[in-house]
Structure 1
């Protein structure tokens, strides 16, 4: 089955916009027939708050704090806090990125007042939005950037469940597999600096394939998430000079995915 922007399995239609409702109601969501219903990883972590933006400054290195504050100033308020933050190292500095963001998008005229760098930070933040369509739209604005603070936002999306977003990442990172390119070097360094994060990303790719996409791609090697992991491992391997561990299932191995 070819990977296109319309190739999402039928059992998966409608899932993109469910994160917000899942978080609010704490209900279960699952795959199609034969898939075990699973609880949203964010449902237990979302809390109402009157000030949900201050923590988002830490999603970027400290030297970008002023730019991040300008971005937060135009973002509409949300009654829900950002959920499930994850921590990674960017150029030797630890940042804390939201797993999900619930703010509505700012008006286009407000975004237009931001500098190019500040617009980039805004797109990074909204690539963590609870709505998959919003995530994809903002990813398209940053996926070809080699700026080190952008990379964790892209890698996090590799480990998520929307296959159309994987298509966009693969198309946007055409140089990722080419030694010596800026993308190859930048992604390789980020992965070397964050081995636990990359290991979790690998496990999540396998899990979502097993949970939602095995009917479309019987072999993990035929799934685009596997292709992206191969490219990322290649970049990390070239950075370290040794093979990077693969957590992909061996051919014939039974995999019971839990998303």
Structure 2
């Protein structure tokens, strides 16, 4: 069964309230940069959807499940600093339109900023197959022992075991619901390979085998769950 879809957070029309909600998705030291980004984002017709919480470098971040702001024009985005552009791409990777999510993910997937990691990992637990391909290509370093990407994602997963376990289960759910006709065995599904790579990163970080939260039978022969 698929996880329940996040509910809408009912916000007041006070712009400072929206600012607070979206700023909570990033480390507090970036509050000024977030305000600069929000200043160029068009107002949304709908409030952000309920956030999910993760820990990044000892700080709890609350990232919206979805936002609904239209994308700013290139003329508005251009003056942003490099960090501010990464913040903008992170926010739009949570957009309600999958094509918008993919477009902005492509700009951040290879980032080495620890606060980008939860935006990327969350997308592995969603249903757009093309997004999984973007992540696999952008995180090729996960396959390399001792690489910067392995260290970054290994530490993030070790800090957020419950979040990652939930992501694993969502990957299995979306495979079973939408893609089992194409990938009869879970082990051939792109999301499975990403979960294996993330677990390898976490195992390397903690120096022990990281627990699996996908049913072992899914890696066996086709038809085991039929």
- Give the match for residue 31 of structure 2: 65
- Give the match for residue 41 of structure 1: 5
State the Cα distance separating 1:84 from its structure 2 match.
1.9
- For residues 128-186 of structure 1, the C-alpha deviation after alignment (integer angstroms, 9 at most, x for no partner) is 00000000000000001121010000000000000100000000111012111110000
Normalised TM-score (structure 2): 0.92
Q: Distance in 1 between matches of 2:212 and 2:167?
A: 11
State the Cα distance separating 1:224 from its structure 2 match.
0.3
For structure 1, which runs of at least 5 residues remain unmatched after alignment? 1-35
For structure 2, which runs of at least 5 residues remain unmatched after alignment? none
- After the TM superposition, which residues 214-225 of structure 1 pair with which residues of structure 2 at under 5 Å, given as runs? 214-225=180-191
- Give the match for residue 60 of structure 2: 94
Q: Distance in 2 between matches of 1:65 and 1:48?
A: 20
- After the TM superposition, which residues 195-206 of structure 1 pair with which residues of structure 2 at under 5 Å, given as runs? 195-206=161-172
Q: Label 1:65 to 1:244 Cα distance change in 2 as closer, same or farther (>3 A).
A: same
Secondary structure of the structure 2 residue equivalent to 1:150 = helix
Counterpart check, 1:190 vs 2:156: yes
- Give the match for residue 131 of structure 1: 97
Secondary structure of the structure 1 residue equivalent to 2:115 = coil
Higher helix share: 2
State the Cα distance separating 1:246 from its structure 2 match.
1.1
Q: Distance in 2 between matches of 1:210 and 1:190?
A: 27
| Match for residue 248 of structure 1 among 199, 214, 217 | 214
Q: Does the CA-based 8 Å contact 1:71-1:114 persist in structure 2?
A: yes
State the Cα distance separating 1:114 from its structure 2 match.
0.3
| Match for residue 181 of structure 1 among 135, 143, 147 | 147
Q: Label 1:186 to 1:39 Cα distance change in 2 as closer, same or farther (>3 A).
A: closer
Q: Distance in 1 between matches of 2:3 and 2:25?
A: 26
- After the TM superposition, which residues 141-152 of structure 1 pair with which residues of structure 2 at under 5 Å, given as runs? 141-152=107-118
The 10-residue stretch of structure 1 (241-250 or 92-101) with the greater mean CA deviation from structure 2: 241-250
Normalised TM-score (structure 1): 0.80
Moved runs in structure 1, 4+ residues, more than 3 A?
46-49
Q: Does the CA-based 8 Å contact 2:132-2:191 persist in structure 1?
A: yes
- Give the match for residue 131 of structure 2: 165
Q: Does the CA-based 8 Å contact 2:3-2:170 persist in structure 1?
A: no
- Give the match for residue 106 of structure 2: 140
Counting matched residue pairs gives 218
Secondary structure of the structure 1 residue equivalent to 2:60 = strand
